[in-house]
Amino acid sequence: MNQAPTPGLRRLRFDASPCNFPRAAVPMLAQPELACLQWQVNPRLAMSPWGTESFKRGRYALHEAMRRSGLGPGTALLAPSYHCLTMLDPALRLGAAIKLFPVNANLTPDIGALKNIVHHQHGDQRIQALLIPHYFGIAQSLENMLELKQICLDAKISLIEDCAHILTLGPQHPAPDAGIHGDWIVSSPYKFFPITEGGLLWSSQHDHANASSETHTPSTGPRWREILVLWQHIFGIKTLRTRSTNRADFLPNFSQAHEWEEACDSASPYYKPNDELTQESILASRLIRHTNIQALQARRRENFINWLEVCKTLRQATPLHTELPAGTIPYMFPLLLKDFKTHFDTLKRAGLPLGRWDNMVDSNCPTAKHYRMSLVHLPCHQSISKSQWTWMASTLRQILEK
Reported as a single tens digit per residue, the pLDDT across 191-209 is 999 888 889 999 877 554 4
Q: Is pLDDT at 125 greater than 90 in this prediction?
A: no
Band of the pLDDT at 6, cuts 50, 70, 90? Answer: very low
**Mean pLDDT, residues 353-363 taken together:** 96
For the chain, the domain total comes to: 1
- Asked if residue 352 belongs to a domain, the reply is no
**Mean pLDDT, residues 328-348 taken together:** 95
- Asked if residue 374 belongs to a domain, the reply is no
CATH number at residue 162: 3.40.640.10
Express each pLDDT in 146-159 by its tens digit.
999 999 999 999 99
**Mean pLDDT, residues 17-27 taken together:** 91
Q: Is pLDDT at 231 greater than 60 in this prediction?
A: no
Q: Which segment of 165-174, 276-285, 345-354 scores lowest on mean pLDDT? A: 276-285
Q: Which segment of 88-92, 125-129, 170-174, 203-207 scores lowest on mean pLDDT? A: 203-207
- Asked if residue 113 belongs to a domain, the reply is yes
Band of the pLDDT at 13, cuts 50, 70, 90? Answer: very high
Pick from 185-199, 201-215, 220-234 the range whose average pLDDT is largest: 185-199
Q: Give this prediction's pTM.
A: 0.88
**Mean pLDDT, residues 187-192 taken together:** 93
**Number of DSSP helices (H) and strands (E) in the chain, helices first:** 10, 13
Q: Looking at the DSSP assignment, which residues form a beta bridge with residue 52?
A: 202
- Asked if residue 308 belongs to a domain, the reply is no
Band of the pLDDT at 226, cuts 50, 70, 90? Answer: low
Between the CA of residue 87 and those of 5, 227, 296, what are the distances in Å?
23, 29, 26
Please report the pLDDT score of residue 241 as a whole number: 55
Pairwise CA distance, residues 310 & 391, whole Å: 12
Please report the pLDDT score of residue 34 as a whole number: 63
- Asked if residue 166 belongs to a domain, the reply is yes
Between the CA of residue 386 and those of 38, 238, 242, 390, what are the distances in Å?
21, 11, 14, 6
* 125/73: higher pLDDT: 73
Express each pLDDT in 49-63 by its tens digit.
567 898 989 999 999
Question: Residue 242 half-sphere exposure, CB side, CA atoms within 13 Å?
Answer: 15
Burial class (CB within 10 angstroms; exposed 0-12, middle 13-18, buried 19+) of 360: buried
Please report the pLDDT score of residue 358 as a whole number: 96
* 287/219: higher pLDDT: 287
Q: Is pLDDT at 117 greater than 90 in this prediction?
A: yes
User: Which residue range is the domain that position 21 belongs to?
Assistant: 1-292
State what percent of residues in the chain have pLDDT above 70: 80
Express each pLDDT in 235-272 by its tens digit.
554 455 555 444 445 555 545 789 999 999 899 999 99
